[in-house]
């Protein structure tokens, strides 16, 4: 709700949902995936207005997926696996060029999936970095290794400018609102393997189905 969005962000709002993402047979629950992204959007908003254009796009995509989760075909959208199966079998995905399904669950999730890799790389750098390491550089490096490859020049430029104003590591860890730095590092160490697994399972699924380049 809007009211809870005003409250202070805590890193657990991102990490807890990703911890709940995997079912027993390693399927990815869309509900928790989307909840993790909701937390992330809130986090990006707390970093200030320069992150607005970044969080706005992520928020739009979250919104699209929430509509599927609550829509008339909700039962098809329980896991990423069931979503992919359902949308492909019913020809609800534009496979080669944009057409009548510009907001399919598959292509929408793919954008968040690519961005999740950025997050994973960035949080790993944050976890292992020293007190004086530059978050702006860590953020830019992670971005260049992942999401940047999918962005046109103008977006890369704008993202680079946003990274520049990130606070130093101590202040950054404080914004995460978990406690002392050691505690943030411990929390990241616990959650990152799970984020990484969710990422890899989604990546394998999309690769198998030849969906990694959806327009
Ligand atoms: C501090 C750590 C930050 C990690 C969070 C990652 C947030 C990712 C959001 C990036 C959005 C950049 C601007 C939007 C670009 C869109 O064109 C692009 N969206 C994404 C998520 O890459 C592609 O979506 P589109 O245009 O094909 O609908």
For the CA of 40, the closest atom of ligand 1 is 5
Q: Which CATH superfamily is domain 2-208 in?
A: Glycolipid transfer protein (1.10.3520.10)
57 CA distance to ligand 1 middle (Å): 6
Closest protein CA for atom 13 of ligand 1 = 54
Among residues 9, 22, 7, the alpha carbon closest in space to that of 199 is found at 22
CB distance 84 to ligand 1 below 6 Å? no
79 CA distance to ligand 1 middle (Å): 22
The CA-to-CA distance between both ends of the chain, in Å, stands at: 31
CA separation for the pair 199, 28 (Å, rounded) = 9
58 CA distance to ligand 1 middle (Å): 6
pLDDT tens digits, residue range 130-179? 988 899 999 999 999 999 999 999 999 999 998 998 988 998 888 888 99
Q: Residue 1 has what pLDDT?
A: 41
Is the complex ipTM more than 0.90?
A: yes
CA separation for the pair 123, 134 (Å, rounded) = 13
Query: Which residues have a Cβ under 8 Å from the Cβ of 95 and sit 6 or more positions away?
Result: 214, 215
CB distance 43 to ligand 1 below 6 Å? no
Residues of the chain falling short of pLDDT 50: 1-5
Q: Do 105 and 88 meet the contact criterion of CB atoms below 8 Å apart?
A: no
CB distance 139 to ligand 1 below 6 Å? yes
Q: Residue 77 has what pLDDT?
A: 98
pLDDT tens digits, residue range 171-180? 888 888 899 9
CA separation for the pair 195, 14 (Å, rounded) = 10
Query: Which single residue is written with the structure tokens 């984020």?
Result: 195
């Amino acid at each position: 709700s809007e009211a809870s969005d005003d409250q202070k962000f805590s890193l657990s709002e991102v990490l807890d949902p990703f911890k709940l993402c995997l079912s027993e047979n390693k399927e990815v629950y869309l509900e928790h995936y989307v909840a993790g992204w909701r937390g992330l959007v809130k986090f990006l908003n707390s970093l200030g207005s320069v992150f607005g254009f970044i969080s706005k796009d992520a928020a739009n995509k979250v919104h699209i997926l929430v509509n599927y989760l609550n829509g008339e075909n909700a039962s098809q959208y329980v896991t990423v696996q069931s979503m992919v199966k359902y949308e492909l079998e019913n020809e609800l995905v534009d496979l080669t060029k944009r057409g009548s399904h510009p907001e399919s669950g598959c292509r929408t999730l793919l954008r968040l999936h690519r961005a999740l890799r950025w997050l994973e790389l960035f949080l790993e750098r944050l976890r292992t970095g020293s007190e004086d390491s530059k978050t702006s550089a860590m953020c830019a490096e992670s971005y260049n290794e992942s999401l940047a490859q999918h962005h046109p020049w103008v977006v890369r430029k704008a993202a680079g400018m946003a990274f520049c104003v990130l606070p130093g590591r101590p202040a950054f860890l404080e914004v995460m609102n978990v406690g002392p730095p050691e505690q943030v590092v411990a929390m990241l160490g616990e959650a990152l393997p799970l984020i990484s697994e969710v990422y890899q399972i989604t990546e394998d699924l999309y690769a198998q189905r030849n969906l990694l380049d959806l327009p």
